[in-house]
Chains A and B, each alone.
Chain A
Amino acid sequence: DIQMTQSPSSVSASVGDTVTFSCRASQEITTYLAWYQQKPGKAPKLLIHSTSTLVSGVPSRFSGGGSGTHFTLTITSLQPEDLATYFCQQATTFPVTFGQGTRLDIK
C-alpha cells in the first residue's frame, strides 16, 4: 500500500494569511493525487484532483502542486470559512489511501 503522510498535523493561522500543507507518499504518485476539505460534522469535499486541477466552484485561492512523492496544498488569503481538516489522497494504485489530515484553525 502507498502510505500518505501529511504535515503538520495542525496549524493555526490568521485571516488573510497564506498556508501550505505538505503530503508525502511512500512511493511515486504518477497519476492521481487529490485534496479534500472536511468541515466539522460534514463529509469530505473534493477540492483538487490530478495534483493541481481545481474542482469547479472551488475558490482560486486554493492551489495544488508537487510531483513524485511530495505534494502541497496552498491556501492564500485565508478566510474564516476555511476552518477545516484537509486530506490528501492517492488513487494511482489500489488500495486508494488517504493521509491522516492537517487541521486548520483560524486565529
Chain B
Amino acid sequence: QVQLQESGPGLVKPSETLSLICSVSGVSMSHGTHYWGWIRQTPGKGLEWIASGDKGGSTYYNPSLKSRVTMSVDTSRNELSLILNSATAADTAIYYCSRQLEDWGQGTLVTVSA
C-alpha cells in the first residue's frame, strides 16, 4: 500500500522560496506509469491543483502558478519535490502530495508570514 508523507518548513517569509518534499513508500516510483502531483487547500479557495508529473519528466502545471512553480520526481530517492518561488500570504495553505490523485499524503501546513 502506497504511503506519502510531506515535509518542509512550516513558515516561509514573503518573497522567499517555499520548498516541500514528499517521501513515498510502499511502491517504487521507478516502476509503473503513475502520475505524481501536488494539491493545496485553503479555506478561501478550497482545493487547488498545483502540478502533476511522471518519472520521465513530463510535467503539467496549473497556469495560475506555472511561472513560480517547479515540480520534480526523483526515482532514486523515491520522492517528489515542489518549489514555489516568490511566496506571498496567498500561498498559505495545506499542501498535499498525491499519486494519481488517488492516494494522498496527510498534508503539511505552510504559512507565509514575516
Contact = CB atoms under 8 A, between A and B. Distances in A.
A98 B105 contact: no
- Give the bracket for the number of chain B residues in contact with chain A: 10 to 19
Contacts, number: 42
B104 A45 contact: yes
B105 A43 contact: yes
B54 to A, nearest CB: 14
Nearest to B63: A95
B49 A43 contact: no
Interface in A9-68: 34, 42-46, 49, 55
- Give the bracket for the number of chain A residues in contact with chain B: 20 to 34
Interface of B: 46-49, 52, 60, 62-64, 96, 101-107
Interface of A: 1, 34, 42-46, 49, 55, 87, 89, 91, 94-101
